[in-house]
């Protein structure tokens, strides 16, 4: 591609509508990359925090000690917040001297609600990546169609049409499609990767909830100060 048909020159000489399309796609691409990097670091922080709490949970400390430590932390892991929600509800209901089955049911509901809040937080910006990945090619295609239409309208005023007359208009129109694909492909790849990672995190949290529920069943009839360590 010679200098006259460089991508930057084609973008600058494109029609206003095509330029607006290109600007929209570039903005979407930059925003999606920002969301991708942010999600990479946030998911890593979630995994590290969950693994650290899980090791602490199975280290032999009592449930009471774990609960007190979790309540004192400002930036706890999702698994730790789920544990704290279930344990807090368990202790509140046991003070009312309810039946063990009601204790377990109340704790499970509290953990389930906490799990949903955590997943909603973890999945933040995921829909944005899906939107960029699915919409960007069509926006780029719209810019291409408009650019080609604009180019042929300009050619209609010429008495003799050659390849040199057609090439710049067609090329500047195709740039919009290229930018659309440039924005869409990373967003789609990242969305699929993050969705898979979030599914694994959700399975890990649900497995922990089941294990913790079994532990609470064994402690349902114990005194508050004698909650046993997980085992």
pTM: predicted TM-score of the whole model, two decimal places: 0.80
Looking at the chain, how many residues does it have? 231
Query: Hunting for tokens 């509290």 — which residue is that?
Result: 110
The most distant pair of C-alpha atoms in the chain lies apart, rounded to whole Å, by 96
CA-closest candidate to residue 205, choices 76, 75, 114, 110: 114
Whole-angstrom CA distances from 62 to 67, 198, 225 are 9, 29, 10
**pLDDT tens per residue, the chain (231 residues)?**
444 556 667 667 677 887 888 889 999 999 999 999 999 999 999 999 999 999 999 988 888 888 888 888 878 899 999 999 999 999 888 888 778 888 889 999 999 999 999 999 999 889 999 999 999 999 988 888 887 777 777 666 655 655 555 666 677 778 888 889 999 999 999 999 999 999 999 999 999 999 999 998 887 765 554 455 555
């Amino acid at each position: 591609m010679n200098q006259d048909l460089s991508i930057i020159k084609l973008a600058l000489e494109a029609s206003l509508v095509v330029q607006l399309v290109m600007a929209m796609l570039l903005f979407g691409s930059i925003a999606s990359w920002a969301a991708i990097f942010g999600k990479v670091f946030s998911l890593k922080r979630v995994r590290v925090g969950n693994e650290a709490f899980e090791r602490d949970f199975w280290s032999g400390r009592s449930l009471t000690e774990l609960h007190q430590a979790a309540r004192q932390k400002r930036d706890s892991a999702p698994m730790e917040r789920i544990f704290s929600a279930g344990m807090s509800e368990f202790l509140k209901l046991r003070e009312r001297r309810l039946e063990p089955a009601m204790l377990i049911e109340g704790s499970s509901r509290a953990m389930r609600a906490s799990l949903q809040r955590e997943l909603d937080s973890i999945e933040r910006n995921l829909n944005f990546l899906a939107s960029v990945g699915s919409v960007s090619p069509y926006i780029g295609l719209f810019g291409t169609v408009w650019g080609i239409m604009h180019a042929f309208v300009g050619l209609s005023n010429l008495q003799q049409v050659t390849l040199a007359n057609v090439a710049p208009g067609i090329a500047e129109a195709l740039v919009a499609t290229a930018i659309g694909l440039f924005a869409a492909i990373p967003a789609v790849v990242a969305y699929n990767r993050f969705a898979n990672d979030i599914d694994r995190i959700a399975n890990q949290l649900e497995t922990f909830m089941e294990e913790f529920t079994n532990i609470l069943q064994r402690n349902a009839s114990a005194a508050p100060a004698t909650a046993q360590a997980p085992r």
